[in-house]
Amino acid sequence: MTSQAPPTKRQKREEYRKAHKEDALAELPKKKFYRQRAHANPFSDHQLDPAAPDLMDWAAHYPAYVALDSAQNTTEDVDSPSALRALNKPVTVADIGCGFGGLLVALAPKLPEDLLIGKPPFQARQLRRLISRNRVGMEIRTQVTEFVQDRIRALRKQNVERGLYQNIACLRANSMKFLPNFFKKAQLTKIFLCFPDPHFKARKHKARIVSLTLNSEYAYVMKPGGTVYTITDVEDLHTWMVRHFDEHPSFEKVSKEEEVEDECVKTMKVETEEGKKVERNKGEKFVACFRRSEDPPWP
């Protein structure tokens, strides 16, 4: 009689994740079952994007915000915008490179009017990492995205009577290449760039999350008066981000006085996984915020 080999660590992780989903568990997921390489190539074509913002199915991520009359929007053409269930409000806050979702979860009760989306980092160090507006996290790494989604699902189940955490979501996306595929012009009011990969080598600077080119995409999807929040523990990267936003005509730096009073800045400093790690190590955090300027009038 041959004995069956014990399950491998990979098999255990897969079984845990499958059970967590199928059983709709209310307990929070455990990170050790969502192992993921620290990096994903942001220049690869991951084919994660909708063809256009109107083709993005946000209802799957925010079921509590589906418009009551959207069920009547039926069509045989599944690629038609009319085939999608509409939300009663748009997503307005994006956490780009949301990691394991610490900031999303912390902002959910603080911004109850916002819908937030988180996108896990398209390239980030493994350890680095609103109440009418919807918040979303955007992440490119598969298992990190799955962890955040399971975490949100469990939090919603734990708080079903109070209806909390319905305004946050996470999706796998390459924000570096396809941000305008998800959001319309002037849709977002807040963008968070928390502890991004510093890419120390000069030849890797093109992969940094902030550049003049990417700043133009941020400007496109941001509503005038909206804010980009940046934080890092690498002073060289902080200097880089400040310089590139200062050089862009669509952004102006928020004063330190305003930063100190901003509740989102206070939350950003202490609620991300990487922020907590820096705190434990007594490291320094560098914060800079930039306001989207009004577009000049056409001549």
Catalytic residues: 197
**Pairing outcome for strands 251-253 and 286-292:** antiparallel
Across the strands, what pairs with 169? 117, 136
- Torsion, CA 16, CA 22, CA 25, CA 30, rounded to 10: 20
Task: Tell me if residue 35 falls in helix, strand or coil.
Answer: coil
- Sequence-ordered list of residues with C-beta below 8 angstroms from that of 165, at least 6 positions apart, any chain: 105, 108, 152, 155, 156, 159
**Pairing outcome for strands 188-194 and 168-172:** unpaired
Across the strands, what pairs with 192? 95, 229
**Pairing outcome for strands 168-172 and 112-119:** parallel
